[in-house]
C-alpha cells in the first residue's frame, strides 16, 4: 500500500514527486530527531514562562495602584 502510494505520487507529480519522495526518505530521520529536541525546548520554555508569570503575579498582584485625578 505504501509502495503504491509512493508510485502514485511519483506518477502524478513526475520529477517533482520523485524529489519530494527522495527528500522525505533522506531527511526523515534527521527531521524526527530535530522535532524531538524542539519539543523538549518548547516544554522548557513553557515552564519558564509559567514561572515568570507567577513571579509577575506575586510582585505586581499584591500592590494596589492609586490614581489621582487632577
Query: How do residues 3-45 score in pLDDT, each as one tens digit?
Result: 898 888 888 888 898 898 888 889 988 999 999 999 999 999 9
DSSP 2-68: HHHHHHHHHHHHTHHHHHHHHHHHHHHHHHHHHHHHHHHHHHHHHHHHHHHHHHHHHHHHSS-----
C-beta of residue 9 within 8 angstroms of C-beta of residue 17: yes
Query: Confidence class of residue 68 from pLDDT cuts 50, 70 and 90?
Result: low
| Overall pTM > 0.75 | no
Which residue's C-alpha cell is 520529477? Answer: 15
Let me know the angle formed at the C-alpha of 9 by 7 and 10, rounded to the nearest 5 degrees: 65
The DSSP output letter for 70 is -
Task: Give the pLDDT score at 45.
Answer: 95
Amino acid at each position: 500500500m505504501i509502495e503504491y502510494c509512493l508510485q502514485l505520487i511519483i506518477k502524478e507529480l513526475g520529477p517533482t514527486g520523485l524529489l519530494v519522495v527522495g527528500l522525505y526518505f533522506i531527511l526523515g530521520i534527521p527531521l524526527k530527531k530535530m522535532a524531538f529536541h524542539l519539543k523538549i525546548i518548547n516544554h522548557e520554555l513553557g515552564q519558564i514562562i509559567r514561572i515568570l508569570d507567577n513571579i509577575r503575579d506575586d510582585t505586581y498582584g499584591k500592590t494596589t495602584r492609586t490614581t489621582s485625578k487632577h
